[in-house]
Structure 1
Amino acid sequence: MVAVVGPTGSGKSDLAVSLALELGGEVINADSMQFYRGMDIGTAKITEDERRGVPHHLLDILDVTEEASVSDFQQRARALIADIHARGKRAILAGGSGLYVRAALDVLEFPGTDPAVRRRLEAELETAGAAPLRARLEAVDPVSAGRLGDARRIIRALEVFELTGRPFSSFMPTREYAQPAVQIGLEVDREQLRERLARRVDTMVDSGLLDEVRKLDAAGLRLGRTAPRALGYAQFLKVLDGESNAAQAAEDTIVATRQFARRQLTWFRADPRIHWLGWRDPELVAKAAALCSPGSPAPDTAKAHRTGTVTLKHGRNPGRGR
């Protein structure tokens, strides 16, 4: 299968559609916020016209009150991959949610959950704060304690330890594909991406982002655990509450989106299996399609292993915003 990855705003959706047309494929969404019905403007969700007749899967599968689940996504994505391949098509994963991409591609085990244990830990957080929970995690899983910053993830790590007797860190994935795959990453010029992300947020505002947030708020957006934290939606909920204005919310969204893009780049650069292509290379589609052909060359992983980074290149051909 094929995966198109990279930071938000780099043009993943367009490349995925072009590859699908070139290879006879169908696209599987791996952007966790595009799972939500009605979250269209703020997630830059690809429109029907932009899909150019290519079937797209795992868009608009959740209400905003529902919580996105990586394990559920893994099951759905792998069932779709098997179905697409059984019909003689190519499955093309597209998205920037790093853990979701790895859940679809890699050998990755997800421990179960227990609502009662989760509620008890959340009650402890409410009464005593995060410090005692972090101290407990440091005692049983110092690796996770050093990696996890927010209370929600600390609770999850403690829940897993209670249920399995294994540290949460022992479930972290190795870089081993569950089936043959090619990952194509979009290299970006960071300054150009910063400018593009600002323009994109301005376009979202002009296209009615505040009205979209207002409509979703009436549909229970704040009741969800995942959707109300989405970029743009969290900032514009403050406008509805009178805590901010549209201009400030737009600026806050730009800052948060740029920070998110940096985190995405850090995540994907750490994977030496990714083939990096310039986001504005006029031959981008042809080069990407060649990588997906039998006998295509393996990525040069030596430098990535040594440095943990991938050089960002300047491109020439303008691309879209996803």
Structure 2
Amino acid sequence: MQSLSHLVAIVGPTATGKSDLAVELAVELNGEVVNADAMQLYRGMDIGTAKLTPAERRGVPHHLLDVLDVTETASVAVYQQQARSAVEDVLARGRTPVLVGGSGLYVQAVVDDLTFPGTDAQVRDKYEQELVRVGPAELHRRLRELDPVAAEAILATNGRRIVRALEVIEITGRPFSANLPKPGPPRYGAVLVGLDRPVEDLDERVDRRVTQMFGAGLVDEVRQLANVGLRRGRTASRALGYQQVLAELDGAGDMATAAAETAKLTRRFVRRQRSWFRRDARIRWFDAANPALASDVRTLLTT
């Protein structure tokens, strides 16, 4: 099938089958995949992020997988530059770029005019300490007073984003919402495809996936990464599954508890992802359980 001259973005919550669909579409549309999962940026974080194996990638080139060490902090601003460069390179070679992932801010950084102000370590540290002391709800209340538009766009449970918004407001003297993307057509003529399932199905799939991850050696993967500095990584050490295993390695060593906590927090994360993506009216939604999913999406993209 002929390549498309625009970007395809496959988005939605965890455990909907986005990666498999992205590969299938890339095979059919002469495409290449661009990763938009923040934790799949990390080398060695394979089992716990459900990263496709080389065999599962079916020979399709994948961009922005395995580009960071676990000690490095992921930056959306840096990702934006690298992902846009990858998309533009794929288009320039006459192939179809397929952006795929459930990290909403990373997807938005590619398809929307999202700008990233500078940072001030001292100011950020102040708000991070407050986050620990009073919790995200109180900081979100403060953000709502300073910048109601930003507060509406940022979930009250997302402590890191709230801290970032307060930091930007303090160091720029401008509302954080001034940096948020304005509604409009997505970059690269992107067609946004959303995959979803009923919440009960997603919960079951998450539980099954977590069981499979622990059975496939997640604990050994975390041990190996701990040896190369995982605990020092501000972003990687907080990844779902990795944080819970680290806590048990440093504590009672009860991996059944780590698995149960990972599943519980992942189910919660799925709900936040759904809330994030459902706010974007440009996304065309598909039932990920439909056997005709790939065919239906292909029809959307080629007609």
Work out whether the TM-score is over 0.5: yes
Give the conservation status (yes or no) of the 8 Å contact 2:131–2:139. Answer: no
Q: Secondary structure in 1 aligned to 2:27?
A: helix
Residues paired across the two proteins, number = 293
Alpha-carbon spacing, 1:292–1:165, altered in 2? closer, same or farther (3 Å): same
**Correspondence for 2:179:** 171
Which of 42, 63, 70 is the equivalent residue of 2:69?
63
Q: What is the deviation of 1:178?
A: 2.4
Give the conservation status (yes or no) of the 8 Å contact 2:206–2:267. Answer: yes
Q: Distance in 2 between matches of 1:199 and 1:91?
A: 31
Give the conservation status (yes or no) of the 8 Å contact 2:10–2:194. Answer: yes
Show structure 1 runs of 5+ residues with no match.
297-322
**Correspondence for 1:193:** 202
Show structure 2 runs of 5+ residues with no match.
1-6
Q: What is the deviation of 1:22?
A: 0.8
**Correspondence for 1:8:** 14
Alignment of 1:1-322 (within 5 A): 1-119=7-125, 121=126, 125=130, 137=143, 140-144=146-150, 147=154, 148-149=156-157, 152-176=160-184, 177-243=186-252, 245-293=254-302, 296=303
Q: Deviations over 1:119-162 (max 9, x none)?
A: 4x358649986799778756543544575556544432232123
Q: CA RMSD in A?
A: 2.4
Identity %: 55
Q: Distance in 2 between matches of 1:254 and 1:16?
A: 25
Q: What is the deviation of 1:174?
A: 2.5
Q: Deviations over 1:165-187 (max 9, x none)?
A: 21112222223212311011112
TM-score, normalisation: structure 2: 0.88
Q: Secondary structure in 1 aligned to 2:164?
A: helix
TM-score, normalisation: structure 1: 0.84
Moved more, 155-164 or 200-209: 155-164
Q: Distance in 2 between matches of 1:135 and 1:270?
A: 21
Give the conservation status (yes or no) of the 8 Å contact 2:131–2:159. Answer: no
Moved more, 138-147 or 57-66: 138-147
Q: Secondary structure in 1 aligned to 2:55?
A: helix
Q: Distance in 1 between matches of 2:50 and 2:128?
A: 36
From the CA coordinates, give the structure whose radius of gyration is larger: 1
**Correspondence for 2:4:** none
Alpha-carbon spacing, 1:171–1:281, altered in 2? closer, same or farther (3 Å): same
Q: Secondary structure in 2 aligned to 1:28?
A: strand
Alpha-carbon spacing, 1:143–1:188, altered in 2? closer, same or farther (3 Å): same
Q: Which amino acid aligns with 2:116?
A: F
Q: Secondary structure in 2 aligned to 1:179?
A: helix
Q: Secondary structure in 2 aligned to 1:236?
A: helix
Q: Secondary structure in 1 aligned to 2:47?
A: coil
Q: Distance in 2 between matches of 1:209 and 1:253?
A: 12
Give the conservation status (yes or no) of the 8 Å contact 2:127–2:167. Answer: no
**Correspondence for 1:299:** none
